[in-house]
Every structure is written in C-alpha cells, then in structure tokens.
Amino acid sequence: MLTITDAALEQIKKSMTDDNAGLSLRVAAAKDKDESIQYGMGFDDNKTDEDAVIEFDDLEVIIAPGSRDLLIGATIDYVALDGDNMHFIFINPNDPNHKAPEVN
C-alpha cells in the first residue's frame, strides 16, 4: 500500500518526543479541485476500526478509509531540496499532476 524510505523513517522517529511517544503516525491524502493530491501526516492516538494499519519497524502507520486508494503505491521519502534543506516528499503514481522534485 504505502512505502516509507529508510531516510524518512529515521527522521519520523527522530521527531518523536515524550509527548508523542507511543502514538501512531497518521498519513492522509485528499484530492484538490485540479485533481492533484495533497498530503498530511502527524502523530495520532485516535485509531479507529476502519483505519488501515501498517507496521514499519516499531512505527505504526494508520490510514483512514478515504485516503487508502489515493496512497496505494505511494512512497514517503526525506530528501534534500533547495540546497541542504531537508523535506518529506510524497512520490505517488496516483497523482496525475505529480512532478518529481529535483533532489540534490
């Protein structure tokens, strides 16, 4: 369904603090008016029975039903863009307007 690169997984784990330790990472996707896909992710403790659950090492990732189809085959990566500025990016074959960023 969804892939998280080693670089992205490492950065996600680094961002965990005492306040969000033990929480799941929720990944969301929604279509814009132009059919492009917008993404969001954050730590969440509101897992439902309808959520898809994927395990990456000791990180639980949850995806709501409305985002599942949009994230099939997508990859989350953590790369250098604009010089040395690091960013999370979503590489998604389901997004007709997706253009891969130039990675330094």
Q: What's the total number of domains in the chain?
A: 1
Q: DSSP string of 64-86?
A: -HHHHHHHTTEEEEEEEETTTEE
What is the domain-level CATH number for residue 41?
2.60.300.12
CA dist 58 to 4, 21, 54, 55, 102, Å?
Answer: 13, 11, 10, 7, 31
Residue 96 pLDDT: 79
Per-residue model confidence as pLDDT tens digits over 52-95: 999 998 899 999 999 999 999 999 999 998 788 899 999 998 88
0.85 cut: is pTM over it? yes
Residue 104 is assigned to a structural domain of this protein? no
Q: Could you tell me the residue range of the domain that residue 26 belongs to?
A: 2-91
Asked, for residue 97, whether it belongs to a domain, the answer is: no
The reply to whether 41 falls in a domain is yes
